[in-house]
Chains A and B, each alone.
Chain A
Amino acid sequence: MKSGTYQYKTIILTIFLAFSFMIVHAAVNSVYASCASSHLIGCDEDACNNGLPERECVYSCDSCGDLPPSECQVGQYSSMESCDDDDGDGSSSSSSSWPRITITPRFITPTVPHNPTPSCTTHTFAGGSIEPSLVLPGADLIIGCRYGADVDCVSITGGGLTNCTKRGYKDGVSLFACRASTNPGVYTGVNCVLSTGTAGKCCASTDVAGQYQVISTEAHFFQRMRIPPGFYTLSANVHTIISKGKGVYVDLLCASKSCGGSFIENSQITKLEFPVSADFIKKEAQVIVPITGYDIDYQVRVVAGEGSEAYVDKVSLFGGGKEYVLNGDFNTIKTSPNSISLPQPNAWTDASNKLGYYYGMTINTSLPPVPPPNSSSSSSVTGAPGATAIKLNMKIKLQGVTKKPKTTDPIYVKIKLGGNLLSETTSYQTAKFSVDDNGVWSGSAEFTVPPGNGYRVYVKGPKHIQKKVCDSIATEAKGGTYRCPDGKIQLKAGDNSVDFSQILMLAGDLPENGVQNGVIDSYDTSYIRQHLQSTNPSELSIGDLNYDGVIDGQDFSLVLAALSIKYDEE
């Protein structure tokens, strides 16, 4: 019993001592954390507080640790963000969240008297920058460190950056050019570093400049182009055999510092995805380039995820009556780009990552893909087996043009084919049309499709809504009323003639920034209204619907008449 009481007393004493120790320990830490006793760690109170809350104040990353206590300065203390252990990952090596206070004898018992004149010059970090913040592997970056002075002690470390060289100083910011990491990922540990030992006698510090992201390294071709504000269509005709990784896609990237809205350099503006298919698939997306300037660059990419295999027939970025993708049809093939023996198209960059060797992607329409055994052989589009070259010679009549017009310049009309021999309509071919004395326009377009019956022709004039025509010789009782459900046009290899001059192509879908939207709406009338009586050639090319050399009330009336139809026929 006595022994038991003794044991109890021992336990109670032990627990009491442990508890007392914990309380004392916590109290001591609190005292340190309060900055009230900041002199104990060698810093004057202002330096320690630095206008920060207590906990951030003591989370000072031992900023004074490398210096004599007397040399700690106001502003030397960094925020929690700067408490990097400099290992490049932007993290602290301390696993504890409790204020990381190092109490060393020299701090507890200062041996150096307080000296108000520091032996090094402190430069306060006022922020960093990394531009662009979204980059391709190995791209160039500009890192900015704002220390407010052009000093010789600034350098850049961390974040997987290489080849950093100082390129200048402007408005308090030291600018460095660096090369981004070649591996995709987010890099947070880019630091602006002030080093001691230079002529400028800088006080040492390390500050976080920011972060950047290296985007996909998927195999790709790309073309860069500068396009003005307006409406554009990105389209591609692709047959994907195998889709792995990120799959096969064609996309449009912002290639300038900013492309308006939230789009910064390398932001993906639109993306056409091509899953595995039995044949070529055509996809398109509409893109509006906002009015943010006329010096904005964009980039079209053809991308194959690792292990993907695809054939690409055509890639296009079209707007304002202009094609911005060069060699989009891939008619010209390079046979030996670099060390890769597979054919690749001109006008595109050489494929990254030895595309073709390792990724299986090839861009060559001379190698039509073989459909899988279970695919249907009854439908086919451009490039399909059985397809052959046909030429379509057409005659058309435009609304408002009843005789040879005053303006007789050729016009460019978009033509495409549909029908039961095709799984989907062909891509547009742009045909040049010339007018005769009767106001009939003639032109030709070429397609590669299987010969046969059941075709329909889609005609889209430069200021007109699209007309679907199903008959080789089409007629209508009243102008603009022709309609048809199914194609009845027979096409054979070689030349074919169709006469659509007895039906009217209704006017009114005026190009806005060079692009027609397939709808007649208030834009079209307002354009004519604004340019009434204009004879300016560039305005006539848009708003002179009857080609009489002036934009006037007749053109306005033509649009109003076509408003009852309003939409492209599909």
Chain B
Amino acid sequence: MKRIVLLGIAFVLLIAISIVVIFSNNSKKDQIQKAKPTLDGMIVTPTLIPHPVLGSMTMSTEIKESRLSIKKPVSLIVAAVSEGKNIVGYDTIISYDKEAFSYTGAQSLLSDFTVYPYERPTHVAISAIKSLQSNTVTSWDNTPVLRVTFQPKKTGTYTFYLSPKGPEASKMMDDKAQATYPETSKLVLDIYDELVNN
């Protein structure tokens, strides 16, 4: 009898505690819902107001593989989408690990564009200028426009970026001298040593 009574008390207490817990949870939930949004102090902002982004500029390897031998040069293909704009020049800013790759050259894949590459401490800046004699409309829809070649120096996984560096940014200039700042991507490459892997 005593055991039954004790069990009964325990059961009732358990239910009572459960109810209290449920009620208190509801209370917390509502308190959270009722919390007013607040703002922190001064808003911290970047120093540059972002440009509107239009079109794209992307990189891929010419052989369409991301795992590459350290013994062979790596050719990156830059493809662009100009969203109907007639492009007369563009700048490509490629950042990479200078310890792992050395820049060896750049070639235009479009015959009426000439490239002017310039190696910088952290990146290579390539300006491509359309010939004054060319009057054809140059509109790109994921069109390969540029080949850039690097020689791997170290094994490992490395990333190439098309992101801005200082005052320079990858961009396309149209025939109205208006800049289009494209959406850009990064490219991750895995460099391996054939001798070690074999």
User: Do chains A and B stick together as partners?
Assistant: yes
A530 and B177 contact, CB distance less than 8 A: yes
Interface status of A96 (Cβ within 8 A of chain B): yes
Contact B44 A12 (CB under 8 A): no
CB distance from B166 to the nearest CB of A (A): 8
Number of interface residues of B (CB under 8 A): 55
Select the stretch in A106-114, A309-317, A389-397, A519-527 that faces chain B: A519-527
From B133, which residue of chain A is reached at the shortest CB distance?
A: A553
How near does chain A come to B63, taking the closest CB pair, in angstroms?
28
B163-194 interface code vs A (CB 8 A; 1 in, 0 out) = 00001100111111101000000000000000
Q: 8 Å CB contacts to B: which residues of A165-208? A: 186, 188
Q: Is the CB of A553 within 8 A of B89?
A: no
Decide yes or no whether B125 CB sits under 8 A from chain A. yes
Instruction: Please state if B173 and A22 are interface contacts (CB–CB under 8 Å).
Output: no
Report the minimal beta-carbon distance from A218 to chain B, rounded to whole angstroms.
10
Which of B45, B127, B175 is A263 in contact with, Cβ under 8 Å? Answer: B45
| Closest residue on chain B to residue A99 by CB atoms | B30
Q: Which of B39, B52, B173 contacts A526 (CB 8 A)?
A: B173
Interface residue stretch chosen among A264-272, A371-379, A403-411: A264-272
Residue of A nearest to B129 (CB): A525
Which segment, of B7-15, B65-73, B145-153, faces chain A? B7-15
Is B49 close to A, CB under 8 A? yes
B198 at the interface (CB under 8 A from A): no
For the complex formed, measure the closest distance between the CB of B172 and the CB atoms of chain A, giving whole angstroms.
8
Are B173 and A263 within 8 A (Cβ)?
Answer: no
> What are the residues of chain B within 8 A of A527 when measuring CB–CB?
177
Report Cα–Cα, A379/B164, bound state, in Å: 34
The answer on a CB contact under 8 Å between B15 and A288 is: no
**Known A90-B36, A530-B176; contact A522-B90, beta-carbon cutoff 8 A:** yes
Question: Please, which residue of chain A has its CB at the minimum distance from the CB of B128?
Answer: A522
**A8 beta carbon closer than 8 Å to chain B:** yes
Q: In the complex, A405→B39 CA distance in Å?
A: 59
Asked whether A287 lies within 8 Å of B132 as measured between CB atoms, the reply is no
- Give chain A interface residues in 46-101, CB to chain B under 8 Å: 80, 83, 90-92, 96-98
Of A19, A213, A566, which contacts B12 at CB under 8 A?
A19
Q: Contact check, B12 vs A16: say whether CB atoms are below 8 A apart.
A: yes
Q: Is B26 an interface residue (CB 8 A)?
A: yes
Given contacts A553-B132, A556-B132, contact A98 B116 (CB under 8 A): no
Q: Check A522 against B173 for contact (C-beta < 8 Å).
A: yes
Chain B CB within 8 A of A529 CB: yes
- Once A529-B88, A529-B175 are accepted as A-B contacts, the answer to whether A518 and B167 lie under 8 Å apart by CB is yes
**In whole Å, how far is B176's beta carbon from the nearest beta carbon of chain A?**
6
Per DSSP, are chain A's interface residues mostly helix, strand or loop, or mixed? mixed
State whether the Cβ of A289 lies closer than 8 Å to any Cβ in chain B. Answer: yes
Is A34 interfacial (CB 8 A cutoff)?
no
Q: Is A384 an interface residue (CB 8 A)?
A: no
Task: Please judge, given known A-B contacts A216-B42, A290-B51, whether A522 and B91 are in contact too, CB under 8 Å.
Answer: yes
Contacting pair A523 B177 (CB below 8 A):
yes
Give CA–CA (A443, B130) in the complex, Å: 37
* Residues from chain B with Cβ under 8 Å of A529 in the complex: 88-89, 130, 132, 175, 177
- B-facing mask of A1-28, CB < 8 A → 1, else 0? 0000000100110011011001000100
Chain A residues contacting B130 (CB-CB under 8 Å) are: 529
Q: Which residues of B contact A288 (CB under 8 A)?
A: 48-49, 51
User: Which chain B residues border A213 with CB–CB below 8 Å?
Assistant: 39
Most chain A CB within 10 A, of B52, B173, B176, is at B173
Instruction: Evaluate contact between A526 and B89: CB separation under 8 angstroms.
Output: yes
For B88, the chain A residues whose CB sits under 8 A away are 522, 525-526, 529-530
Give B112 Cβ to nearest chain A Cβ, in Å: 12
Q: How large is the interface on A (under 10, 10 to 19, 20 to 34, 35 or more residues)?
A: 35 or more
Residue in chain B with minimal CB distance to A134:
B43
Which residue of B is nearest A291, CB measured?
Answer: B52
Q: Which of B1-37 contact A (CB under 8 A)?
A: 2, 5, 8-9, 12-13, 15-16, 19, 23, 26-31, 33-34, 36-37
Q: Is A517 an interface residue (CB 8 A)?
A: yes
A425 at interface, CB cutoff 8 A: no
Q: Hey, which chain B residues are within 8 Å of A11, CB to CB?
A: 9
Residue B158 at the A interface, CB < 8 A? no
Asked if B38 CB lies within 8 Å of chain A CBs, one says: yes
A8: chain B residues at CB < 8 Å are 2, 5
Q: Which residue of A lies closest to B44 (CB)?
A: A268
Q: Which residues of B contact A260 (CB under 8 A)?
A: 49
Known: A12-B8, A80-B33, A97-B26. A270 touches B45 (CB 8 A): yes
A563, CB-defined interface residue at 8 Å = yes
**Residues on the B chain within 8 Å of A262, using CB:** 45
Within 8 A of B (CB), among A511-550: 517-523, 525-527, 529-532
**When A97-B28, A98-B27, A188-B38 are in contact, do A286 and B44 touch as well, CB less than 8 Å?**
no
Q: Is B136 in the interface zone, CB < 8 Å from A?
A: no
**Chain A contacts of B34 at CB under 8 A?**
80, 83, 91-92, 97
User: What chain A residues lie within 8 Å of B173 (beta carbons)?
Assistant: 522-523, 525-526
Query: Is there a chain A Cβ closer than 8 Å to B47's Cβ?
Result: yes
A5 to chain B, nearest CB (A): 8
| Mask of A266-304 contacts with B, CB within 8 angstroms, 1/0 | 011110000000000000011111100000000000000
Shortest A65–chain B CB gap in Å is 19
Given A22-B16, A522-B128, 16 extra CB contacts under 8 A: A19-B16, A91-B36, A213-B39, A261-B50, A262-B45, A267-B43, A268-B43, A288-B49, A519-B167, A521-B91, A521-B125, A522-B88, A523-B89, A527-B177, A563-B118, A563-B127
19 A-B pairs within 8 Å (CB atoms) are namely A8-B5, A16-B12, A26-B19, A83-B34, A97-B27, A260-B49, A267-B45, A268-B42, A268-B45, A269-B45, A519-B168, A522-B173, A525-B88, A529-B130, A529-B177, A530-B176, A560-B129, A563-B129, A566-B125
Q: Nearest 8 A-B pairs (CB), nearest first?
A: A97-B30, A522-B89, A526-B173, A97-B27, A563-B116, A530-B177, A270-B47, A522-B173
